[in-house]
């Protein structure tokens, strides 16, 4: 560690501040330069020239939420894999690679069996319900 050890995340904070500055600066420019002639029809949401019917915030296809759920499971598992794989090499260098390998494989097996379950249940198909009803 060098004597210049400062908070390592300082550059990240600087970048965030800079980006927020750029975005606000762009808006500031457009406030001064852009015209302001909003009319009633201009500010309606675009619906191919018709007046919009109802709200857009309504019920939505449940498939998107199922995808979200599957993602959460896989995401957590892949996050848990990161520390394991980043020490795998040093375990291997210590001559204990077999132990680490078996643990990785057990973990992967759980991950893959979860995925196989989703696949078998048809949750990976985009259009699921119609096919199933025809079969039954």
Partner 1 sequence: MNGGLIPYLSGFDWFNQTIKSTSAFLSFDTTSLLSFLIYAVFASLLVFLVLMPIGGLGTYAERKISADLQARIGPNRVGPYGILQFLADGIKMVLKEDIVPVGADRFVFYLAPLLAMVGVFMTVAVLPLSSGLTMVHLDIGVFYLLAVSSLVGIAVFLGGYAPNSKWSLLGGMRGASQIISYEIPVVISVLAIVLLSGGMSFDVLVGSQGGLPHRWFLFHNPFTFLAFFVYFVGALAEANRAPFDLPEAESELVSGYHTEYTGMRFAFFALAEYVEVFVLCAVAAALFLGGYNVPGELLKDHPLGQLLQLGAFFTKTLILYYVVIWVRWTLPRIRVDQLMTICWKYLTPIALFNLVGCALWMYCFDGKSIVSLLFESGVGAASGGH
| Interaction residues for partner 1, span 16-55 (CB under 8 A) | 16, 18-20, 22-23, 26-27, 29-31, 33-38, 42-48, 52, 55
**Binding status of residue 130 toward partner 1 by CB under 8 A:** no
For residues 127 and 104, what is the distance between their CA atoms, to the nearest angstrom? Answer: 34
Question: Which DSSP category does 67 fall into?
Answer: H
Tokens 């001559």, residue located: 95
Which positions from 95 through 124 interact with partner 1, judged by CB under 8 A? 97-98, 101, 104-105, 108, 111-112, 115, 118-119, 124
For residues 121 and 98, what is the distance between their CA atoms, to the nearest angstrom? Answer: 34
Q: Residue 70 is encoded by which pair of tokens?
A: 């599957």
C-beta closer to partner 1: residue 76 or 133: 76
Shortest Cβ 51–partner 1 spacing (Å) = 11
């Amino acid at each position: 560690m060098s004597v210049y050890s400062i908070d390592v995340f300082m550059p990240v904070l600087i970048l965030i501040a800079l980006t927020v500055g750029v975005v606000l600066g762009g808006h500031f420019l457009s406030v001064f330069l852009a015209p302001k002639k909003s009319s009633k029809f201009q500010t309606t949401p675009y619906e191919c020239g018709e007046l919009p019917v109802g709200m857009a915030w309504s019920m939505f296809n449940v498939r998107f939420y199922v995808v979200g759920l599957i993602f959460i499971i896989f995401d957590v598992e892949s996050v848990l894999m990161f520390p394991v794989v980043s020490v795998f090499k040093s375990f291997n260098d210590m001559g204990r690679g077999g132990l680490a390998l078996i643990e990785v494989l057990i973990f992967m097996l759980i991950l893959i069996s979860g995925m196989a379950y989703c696949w078998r249940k048809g949750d990976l198909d985009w259009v699921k319900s119609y096919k199933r009803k025809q079969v039954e």
